[in-house]
Structure formats: C-alpha cells, structure tokens
Structure 1
Amino acid sequence: MIDDAELFAADLIGRRLLKVTTAWHHHADDRPSLVHLWLHLEGLGPVLFHTPSTGLSLRADQPHGPYSMAEHGSVSVIDDSPDVPVTWFVGQMIRSVRQIDYNDGHVGFTAGLTLQFPGGSVRLLGLVDGLLIAHDQHLGAVEAHLHEDVALARVVQTSGGCPSQWDAWTTMGQYLYLRYRHGEGTVEQHPSEDVDTWDGEESRLWTSWDDGTNGGRIELTDFLATAGLRLDPEAEVHTTPSIGPRV
C-alpha cells in the first residue's frame, strides 16, 4: 500500500486487526486528547484515522514518532494502549464498517464509523476537531444527533437456502442485498434491486463474515444479528421466496 493513498470504509472489511497505535496531544495541565489513530491491518498495513475538521479521513500512513507542537504542548505515540477500546479487538477480523451521521436539524455531516468485530463493536468519531473512540458508552446530548442506517423497513426473501438471500430497504430508503452461502454472509449497498444498477459508485460492501460452517441456509433473525442490522418495529417482512437466487 502506498503511503498517503486515500482509503474507503469498504477497504477495511475482512481485514484482521494486528496492532493499534495512538498519538496523544498533551496540553499543559489538561487531560491528553487523541489526535491520531493508526489501525495496523493484515494485508493493508497501517491506516491513519484522523479528523481534519469534523468527520474522519482515512489514508495509508506510517505512525510518526513523538514530536513537539510549538507553544501547544507535545504529542506522544503509544502502541496498543489497554485504555483504548479498539485494542480489545486485536487479532479479530473487521466484519462490518458502518457510517455514522450527525444531524441536529441545522448541521448535518458524516461524523464517523462503527467497526464491528466478532467480539463486539467500537465507534470512531470526528467531532469538533477531536477524535473520539467510543465503546458501549452514551455520549450525552450529542447521542440524540447520531444515526446509523441499520434499521430495516422492508425485507423480501428471494431465496430460502443455498443461498439464503433477501432484498432489504432501510428506514432511510437505502437498498441492501443480503446473502449467505457456503458459510459466508455479505451485505451490499446498491442503488436499487435492479442488478443493472450495481456497477456504479453508489455500490459498496457493508459487511462480510465467514462462520466456518460452509452452510447455505440461515434464518433472517440470525443473519441480522450477525450483520449488525435490525428490523424496525413496523417493518414489512416477506419470508416466501418470490424471485429466485441471483448468481
């Protein structure tokens, strides 16, 4: 991987987390703040997560050594700090990367990403010039303005087994193609269920995992739980295959 190459969320899916490096800005008597995060991923190398203003930027980049910031304190670089929640998942594969949006009715932007591992998930957020790693915690007032498009409003089963697959639409109107075959589950985003629309920039991988069973059948509830998706309380679900499996 070439340093400074721009990376996308889908590039991280299926990569094993090997190591975590963090850079902390020390300000006088204040608590250190996180300025940079590197995830070392199998087959990809170190990936830098940082926030240029709000939201996250991802690029291939080697960790820097400790350095000074003139008149603004210093920055220390630490490998695999146990106090950083993402280090708890070292050795695990990234199963899913989901976008987190912020909207308070006045300002809206992509605030960060949720990385899902077999052992749990962690949120990486860029809010007001700061990088935040959150795991199983409520972020106070800002939480009401954060949203992940993971609730399904409509699901139509298109194959009952070998593969098990569904067409699904989120409550925000995004079409998703859900598929499970040979023990491998995937969630793909596309503009619509029309396969002729699947080759453009709006198509990307959301989720991928292999449960090692080589199975071809899975119940919808189990698929959604593994994929990090859920049914909206008023979701419309059609469980009888109506189209037949796509190749």
Structure 2
Amino acid sequence: MTDDEELSVADLVGKRLLRVTTAWHHHAEDEPSLLHLWLHLEGLGPVLFHTPGTGLSLRTDQPHEPYSMEQDGHVTVTNDSPNVPVARFVGQTIRSVREIRYRGVGIDFAAGLTLQFPGASIRLLALDDDLLLACDQHLGPVEASLHEDVTLARVVQTCHGFPSQWDAWTTGGQYLYLRYRRGEGSVEQHPSEDTDAWDGAGSRLWTTWDDGTGGGIIDLADFLAMAGLRLAPEAEISGTSG
C-alpha cells in the first residue's frame, strides 16, 4: 500500500490491529474532540479514518505532526493512544466490517462502520463532522436513525456439512453467502445467488474467522453469533441436503 491510497471496507477484514494513533482538536475552553484516527493494521500500515464532510473516509496515511489551526485552536497527536475505546482491541484481528447508515426524513447516508473483533465490536461514526467511537454505549436519540443491515429475513441451507453453507437475504434485500469449512467461517456479499454475478462491484467480503478447530459442521445459530448476524422474528428458514 502507498500513502494516500483510498481503501474499501473489505480491505480491513482479517487484518490485525497493531497500534492506535489519534489527533485531538483543542479549541478554547471546550473539551478536546477527536479529529483523526489511525489504526495501524498488519499488512496495510496506518489507516486514517476521518470525516471530510458527510460520512467516513478511509485511506492509508502516515500520522501528522501536531499543528496549529490559526484562529481555531491547535491539534495534538498521541501515538499508542491507550485511552480511546478501540485501543482495547490491539493485538486482535478484525473479523467483520459492516456499514452503518443514518436514515432520517429525506436523509440516507453512510455514517460509519462497525468493526467486529473476536471479543466485541466498536462503531466508528462520522456525525456532524465529528468522529465518534462507541463500544457498548447507547448514543441517545441518534440511535433511532442508525441502521445496520444485519438482520436476516430468509435463510436457505444449501449444504449441511463439509462445508456448512447457506444462501441468506437480509431484511434490506441484500444477498449473503454464508460458508464454514475447515474451521473457517466467512460471509460474502453478492448481487444475488447467481454465481455469474459474483465478480462485480456489488461483491465483497463481510466477515472471516478461523476458530482453530478444522471442523466443517456448524449450526446456524452458532454461525450467526460468530458473524454478528441475527434472524428476524418472522425469518423463513429452509434447507436441502448437500
């Protein structure tokens, strides 16, 4: 990777977090606000998460030096930042990256990402030009407008073991291919179940993990728990022998 190279969310899946760097904006008497976040990822280097406007931008970029912002305060840069929520995941591998959308009256935009690690997940949000990190906390009224397409309306098991695999559709209509083989689970997004359409821009890796068992059989409930997915209350579940 070269500096200033734009990244897709799929580039982050399966990468190990090595360290965290943050840049904080100090202005007058206000509490410092998070301006930039760099996640140093194995195989990618430092990845900058920032808010150039609406939504969240990702690119490879070296952390900046501290600098002044003329009449608008100054910026400090902290390497190996221990006090930000994402620092708790240093040494862990990103299992899944999912888009978070903000939906309101006449408004619909990509507001951030959920990064799922083996033990828990964290949301990186770009709201009102601010960068917010949230592990477990509820963000108040804004929560009603934040949506992840992780609820499955229909699941069809196409193979029961070696591998265990399913075709699945979210409540938002997105097709997902679920697969578990040799202890490795994966979730792929594709335009449809038609494999001839799997090479285009509508395809990407959502989730990957290796549980170390080498197994080829897993039940749906355990797979969904590992993948960060869930069933809708009225989900249609069916299957055929494979």
1:64-106 Cα deviation digits (max 9, x unpaired): 1111110111100112333211000000000000000001122
- Distance in 2, matches of 1:239 and 1:80, equals 48
Deviations 1:174-232 (A, max 9, x none): 00000000110000000100101101100000000011111101010000000000000
Aligned-partner Cα distance in 2 for 1:119–1:153: 26
Q: Secondary structure at the match of 1:71?
A: helix
* 1:45 and 2:45 correspond: yes
How many angstroms does 1:240 deviate by? 3.4
SS of the residue corresponding to residue 224 of structure 2 reads helix
Residue 148 (1) aligns with residue 148 (2)? yes
Tell me the secondary structure at the aligned position of residue 144 of structure 2: helix
Moved over 6 A (4+): none
Q: Does 1:196 pair with 2:193?
A: no
CA distance in 2, matches of 1:29, 1:48: 27
User: Tell me, what secondary structure is at the counterpart of 2:11?
Assistant: helix
Residues matched between the structures, number: 242
Deviation at 1:107, TM superposition (A): 1.0
Aligned to 1:210: 210
User: Is 2:21 aligned against 1:21?
Assistant: yes
Q: TM-score, normalised by structure 1?
A: 0.97
In the TM superposition, what are the counterparts of 1:53-72 in structure 2 within 5 Å?
53-72=53-72
Code of the residue aligned with 1:166 in structure 2: it is W
Aligned partners of 2:139, 2:52: CA distance in 1, in Å? 21
The Cα shift of 1:135 comes to 0.9
Counterpart CA distance in 2 for 1:35 and 1:203 is 31
Q: Which residue does 1:127 correspond to in 2?
A: 127
User: 5 Å matches for 1:91-110?
Assistant: 91-110=91-110
1:23, distance to aligned residue in structure 2 (A): 0.3
Alignment-mate amino acid for residue 188 of structure 2: E
**What's 2:227 paired with?**
227
For residues 20 and 228 of structure 1, the distance between their equivalents in structure 2, rounded to whole angstroms, comes to 24
Residue 54 (structure 1) shift: 1.8
Give the aligned partner of residue 8 of structure 1: 8
In 2, Cα distance between equivalents of 1:22 and 1:119: 23
- Unaligned stretches of 5+ in structure 2? none
Return the TM-score normalized by structure 2: 0.98
What amino acid is aligned across from residue 20 of structure 1 in structure 2? V
Partner of 2:32: 32
Give the partner amino acid of 2:235.
Answer: A
Per-residue CA deviation, residues 100-155 of structure 1 (Å, 9 max, x unaligned), is 00011221100000000001000000011111111101111110000000000000
State the percentage of identical aligned residues.
74
Give the AA of the match of 2:115.
L
CA RMSD, 1 decimal: 0.8
